[in-house]
Structures are given as structure tokens and as C-alpha cells.
A and B are shown apart, each in its own frame.
Chain A
Amino acid sequence: MNMDSMNYDVIVIGGGAAGLTAGIYLSRAKVKTLILNEGTIGGQMILTHEIANYPGVESISGYELANIMKKQAKSFGCDIRSNIRITSLQLDDEVKTIEVNSKDVYTAQSVIIATGGKSRTIGAPGEDLLKGKGISYCATCDGDFFQDKEIIVVGGGNSALEEAVSLTKYASKVTLVHQFDNFQAFEHAINEAKSNPKIDFVLESTITHFYGDEKLNMVDIKNLKTGAIEKRKIDGVFIFIGYVPNTEKFKGVVELNNYGEIVVDTNYETSIKGVFGAGDSIQKRYRQVTTAVADGTIAALNSIEYINKLKTETVDSF
């Protein structure tokens, strides 16, 4: 690779809705742009089977929408590298440096962090080992493996309650385990779950251990109020306990809040000059494809302004 091919005006870290939108805006403005993405392009969009509230599109799968955005960004000249690993970052200097796969070093004048979020895991022993062998994070993907089986759904938000109801199509019994004594979901979702005769509730409790060899067969449910642990035989556990921002890499690099979200100002600029944030990884209330797209647009436009200013300052100094 020649050196010039490694130097960009802007590097976008993350290839979800925010990152791809930033890529589209930047490349269309003839700003040399690279999107680096540690997973498969599309981010959390590809977790969505149907998006029905994206303005101008009646109904589309998240996968298709992501592919259209990717195609659009590429058509304007945006370079994209997916399934890479960012091995080091230096964002403080005027020229930002990002090392990929311990070998390729890219530079840019500005960086947009749009790394999104990922499903939160319980972190109990056995969870990693039994993923796909009784533990699932996707009801539409894996629900039909649990026909006439007894399962647990963990969580108390909209996803947990809605998926618990949808899983009653397959399971003979669904037990909803939630750490609090109330739910963080819409009233209609709570009512629907409560009125379903196949759903039982175990509140103020959490799973502390998953057991099984070839497949999950038992869990420990701990009552958080009394500390009592119940061993329960079970065929499956579906976990819907929210999302965490993908910002581990930026701890100590840019300012994060207590939830690990990137703190940005009204221009979407982080605590470092020329480094912007966008999408689900930043501190904000609503996390939708549309809000991510808006964030990506604003971060890109401010990033363009930033690099134009840098160029003007360089010319003025001569």
C-alpha cells in the first residue's frame, strides 16, 4: 500500500447508520473518507427484520437498508474496510493516527466516532459457552428451536416484554425474570405480557449461573432482595437487557459519561478538537435509525467545516 492511500481527510470509525451517512455526506463533498468497521457493515440496523418508520421507505429490512447506504457511500468514492480490528489510536494530535490489524496505519485530519452499541450480556458463568446452545439474544432467529419447551426471558423493557409474548407461540411456558419490581416498558406491552396465561413473572431477581454441557439445562435464579438462589431446570433463556455503547476503545481518549457514552457538544464534537461523535455511541436519549442518520449528517458537516478551517489556517500562515 502506498503512503498516499493511507492518508485521508476524515476517518469514520463505525459502519452503522450514523457512520454510513457520514461517509455519504463526506464523500459527496469530495472529502477523502475511509470508514473502518470492526464488524459487518450495517451495525444494529442489521438486527432489525423490518424497518417501517424510516421516512420515504414504506418497509425495508435493516440488512437491505444498510446495503443501500453502503452502496451509496461507495458510489461517492468512500473507502470502506469492514471486519477489521483497530489496534491503536492517536487522536490528540492535529494529524490523527489509527492502526488496523497491527499493521496498517491510517491518518486523517478529522475522525468521526460512530461505533454504535451492542446487546448487553448478563456476564454470568456459562453464558458464553452456552450461547446458541440454549441461550439466545434473538427471538425471531431462534424461537422455533423451543417448540413446547420451557424458557426464561430476562429483561423488563419493551424488547423483553414483546419478545416474551412472541415466544409464547413456541414455548409451553415463559418465565420473565427481571431485576426490578417494575417494568421499563410501554403500558400496552406490560398489559399484553401480564394477560398472557403462558407467562409467569419472577421479579427483583437475576440469573447468576447457566449450567449445561452440550446444551443449557439449568440456571441459578438469585432473588436480589433476599439473596436466595433457586436452581431451575430450563430449556432456553432469551436475554433482552438493553444495549451498551461500543466505546471501550475510547476510554481515556475522549470524555465519556458514567454510562460509557461519548460526550459531545452541540456541534457533535468530542473533548478532542477535530474528533466528532455520532449515533448510538454518543450521549443522547433516543436511539433510532433516523436519529443516527441525523447525527451522522451533522457530524460530517461539522467535520468538513473543521478541515476547511484547518486548510485556511495553513494557507494564512504562509
Chain B
Amino acid sequence: MLRTNLTHILTEEDFQKTINENENVMICCGRMGPMCIPVYGVMEDIEGDYKNVKFADLEFDAPHSHVIRNLPECRGFAGLPFTVYFKNGNVVKATSSIQSMEQVTSILDANFKQ
């Protein structure tokens, strides 16, 4: 389990439930590494400002991580973390590697209007 203060997606069922029961979802799939930790940090810091978005993490080395790793939108990705944004269960955006606060919030603002 990742050592963050975010909701952890621990099973494939968790994943399905999260994207089906929440209109807007941001999932960061990574490890406790230097490119991933800053993205978790951004998510923790903005969670309170984006009440309309469910923020969660998923461990890249967990068996159920295929739900993110094998998404067509993540084809070609070769840098952790894989961060995927879902609206009504569908992928609206996916990014690879470290992202800044500005990059994350611009995606949230563009896709998940409050």
C-alpha cells in the first residue's frame, strides 16, 4: 500500500466502484518514488479545493494495477506515475511522469468544471 493520505485502490473491485460511483475521478498509479511523490503531494493539497473530484492512488506493482497500466490511453507511457482522469467511468485524460500543480489543476479545471 502506498504511504499517502489519499484513498487507496486496493482491488480491481475498488477500482470499478470508484470510477462508477463518482462522476469525476483522478487516480495516480505509481510507487513511492521521486517522480510519483510530488504528484501525490499535489493531490493531497488540492483535495479540499476540488470537492467534486475523487482522488485516489493505486500501487503500480500491485496485481490489479493492470486496470490502469493496460488502458489504451497509457500506451506508450514509460515514466511513473501514470495519472488517469475519469468522467462517468470513461478516461478523459492520462499523463505520464511527474506533473506540477499547474499541470494537474489545468486538467481538472478543463475536464471537471465545479
Contact = CB atoms under 8 A, between A and B. Distances in A.
A46 B34 contact: yes
Contacts of A135: 79
B6 interface: no
A34 to B, nearest CB: 16
A68 B97 CA distance: 26
B92 interface: no
A180 interface: no
A46 B37 contact: yes
Nearest to B101: A83
A146 B80 CA distance: 13
B31 A141 contact: yes
A41 B41 contact: yes
Contacts of B33: 49, 138, 140-141
| Residue among B33, B36, B75 with most chain A CB within 10 A | B33
Interface in A127-146: 131-138, 140-142, 145-146
B41 A215 contact: no
Contact of A141 (B35, B40, B46): B35
B77 A132 contact: yes
A40 interface: yes
B78 interface: yes
A39 B3 CA distance: 18
A75 interface: no
A145 B81 CA distance: 12
A39 B46 CA distance: 12
A121 interface: no
Interface in A142-167: 142, 145-146
A133 B38 contact: no
Interface string A49-77: 10000000000011100000000000000
A123 to B, nearest CB: 17
A132 B45 contact: no
A42 interface: yes
Nearest to B33: A141
Nearest to A48: B34
Interface string A197-230: 0000000000000000011000000000000000
B76 interface: yes
Contact of B76 (A40, A131, A146, A215): A215
A169 interface: no
Contact of A82 (B41, B79, B95, B100): B41
A63 B34 CA distance: 8
Contact of B34 (A38, A41, A138, A145): A138
B34 to A, nearest CB: 4
A132 B34 contact: no
| Residue among B46, B98, B100 with most chain A CB within 10 A | B98
A133 B79 CA distance: 6
B80 A142 contact: yes
Interface of A: 38-42, 46-49, 61-63, 82-83, 85, 131-138, 140-142, 145-146, 214-215, 236
28 contacts: A39-B41, A39-B101, A40-B38, A40-B41, A46-B37, A48-B34, A63-B3, A63-B37, A82-B41, A83-B41, A131-B97, A131-B98, A132-B77, A132-B96, A132-B98, A133-B96, A135-B79, A138-B35, A141-B34, A141-B35, A141-B80, A142-B35, A142-B79, A142-B97, A145-B79, A146-B78, A214-B76, A215-B78
